[in-house]
Amino acid sequence: MMELFDGWKFLAGLGIFMFGIFMMEESIKLLAGRSFKIMIRRFTGTKFKGLTTGIVSTAILQSSSAVSLMVLAFVGAGLMTLVNAITVIMGASVGTTLTAWIVAVFGFKFKIDAFALPMIGIGGIGLIFLARSPRYVNISKLLAAFGFLFLGLDFMKTSVEGLAAAIDLSSLPDLGLWVYVFAGILLTAIMQSSSATIAVILTTLFSGIIDFPQGAAMVIGANVGTTVTILLGAIGGIPVKKQAAVSSLIFNAGTAAVAGAALPVMFWFVQDFFGFSDNPVLGIAAFHTLFNVLGVLIFFPLAPALARLLERMFPEKQRVLLTRYIQNTPVEVPEAAIPALRREVRHQLALSMGYIDRKYRLHTGFQLGSDVVENGSRSEYSVSYEDLENLHAAIFTYYAQIQGYEIDAEDALMLEPVIRSSRSIMNATKNLYEHLSEIEDIGKDENPFMTEANLDFKDRLKSLTAWAARVVDTPDGENLNAELKEFFDSVEAADKRFIRLCAKAVSKGTLREHEVTRLLMANRFFTQSSRMLVLSMQALTAGPPASKDRVNSESHDNIGVLSPDEKKRE
Considering the domain architecture, whether residues 433 and 524 belong to the same structural domain is answered as yes
Considering the domain architecture, whether residues 78 and 190 belong to the same structural domain is answered as yes
Please give the span between the terminal C-alpha atoms of the chain, in angstroms, as a whole number. Answer: 96
Question: Does any domain span residue 382?
Answer: yes
Considering the domain architecture, whether residues 376 and 283 belong to the same structural domain is answered as no
Other CB atoms within 10 A of residue 459 CB: 11
**Which of 313, 344, 378 is at the close of a domain?**
313
Give start and end residues of each alpha helix (H) in 47-133: 47-61, 64-76, 82-95, 97-106, 113-129
CA distances from residue 375 to 78, 305, 349 in whole angstroms, order as listed: 15, 19, 19
Instruction: Give the total residue count for the chain.
Output: 570
Question: Under a CB-based contact definition with an 8 Å cutoff, are residues 38 and 73 in contact?
Answer: no
Considering the domain architecture, whether residues 499 and 432 belong to the same structural domain is answered as yes
Considering the domain architecture, whether residues 340 and 228 belong to the same structural domain is answered as no
Q: How far apart are CA 276 and CA 23, in angstroms?
A: 32
Question: Under a CB-based contact definition with an 8 Å cutoff, are residues 438 and 522 in contact?
Answer: yes
Q: Dihedral (C-alpha) 242, 245, 248, 253: value to the nearest 10 degrees? A: -70
Helices 239-261, 280-299: crossing angle, 10 deg rounding: 120
Question: Does any domain span residue 93?
Answer: yes
What domain range includes position 544? 334-569
Domain count, the chain: 2
Q: Which of 77, 75, 99, 78 is nearest to 87 (CA)?
A: 75
Which 8-state DSSP code applies to residue 170? Answer: G
Question: Does any domain span residue 154?
Answer: yes
Q: How far apart are CA 450 and CA 454, in angstroms?
A: 6
Question: Does any domain span residue 402?
Answer: yes
Considering the domain architecture, whether residues 300 and 443 belong to the same structural domain is answered as no
Q: How far apart are CA 115 and CA 178, in angstroms?
A: 37
Q: Which of 299, 298, 288, 436 is nearest to 356 (CA)?
A: 436
Considering the domain architecture, whether residues 282 and 361 belong to the same structural domain is answered as no
Q: How far apart are CA 289 and CA 311, in angstroms?
A: 30
Considering the domain architecture, whether residues 392 and 516 belong to the same structural domain is answered as yes
Per residue in 272-284, pLDDT (tens digit) is 888 888 888 899 9
Per residue in 239-289, pLDDT (tens digit) is 888 888 899 999 999 999 998 888 889 989 888 888 888 888 899 989 999
- 196 burial type by CB count under 10 A (0-12 exposed, 13-18 middle, 19+ buried): buried
Considering the domain architecture, whether residues 265 and 387 belong to the same structural domain is answered as no
Question: Does any domain span residue 99?
Answer: yes
Considering the domain architecture, whether residues 41 and 154 belong to the same structural domain is answered as yes
Residuewise pLDDT in 10s, the chain (570 residues)? 445 556 777 788 778 877 876 777 677 666 655 555 666 666 666 788 888 888 887 877 666 777 777 777 777 766 678 898 899 899 988 988 887 888 888 776 666 666 678 888 888 898 888 878 877 888 888 788 878 877 776 777 676 555 544 444 444 456 678 888 888 888 888 776 777 788 888 888 887 888 888 889 999 998 898 888 778 777 766 788 888 889 999 999 999 999 888 888 998 988 888 888 888 889 998 999 998 999 999 999 999 999 999 988 888 654 445 788 887 787 777 778 888 888 899 889 988 988 888 888 887 665 443 333 333 334 444 688 888 988 998 899 888 888 877 677 777 788 888 999 999 999 999 988 888 888 888 888 888 888 888 888 888 888 888 888 888 887 654 677 788 888 899 999 999 999 999 898 888 888 887 788 888 988 898 899 999 999 888 888 854 434 334 334 433 444 333 343 443 433
Angle at 520 between CA 516 and CA 525, to 5 degrees: 150
Question: Does any domain span residue 365?
Answer: yes
Considering the domain architecture, whether residues 288 and 347 belong to the same structural domain is answered as no
Question: Does any domain span residue 73?
Answer: yes
Q: How far apart are CA 47 and CA 468, in angstroms?
A: 33
**Which of 284, 313, 342 is at the close of a domain?**
313
Question: What values do phi and psi take at 172, rounded to 5?
Answer: -80, 145
Q: How far apart are CA 439 and CA 435, in angstroms?
A: 6
Considering the domain architecture, whether residues 167 and 115 belong to the same structural domain is answered as yes
Other CB atoms within 10 A of residue 318 CB: 10
Q: How far is residue 307 CA from its own chain's centroid?
A: 18
**Which of 313, 342, 366 is at the close of a domain?**
313
Question: Does any domain span residue 205?
Answer: yes
CA distances from residue 73 to 26, 330, 482 in whole angstroms, order as listed: 18, 6, 33
Q: How far apart are CA 378 and CA 544, in angstroms?
A: 30
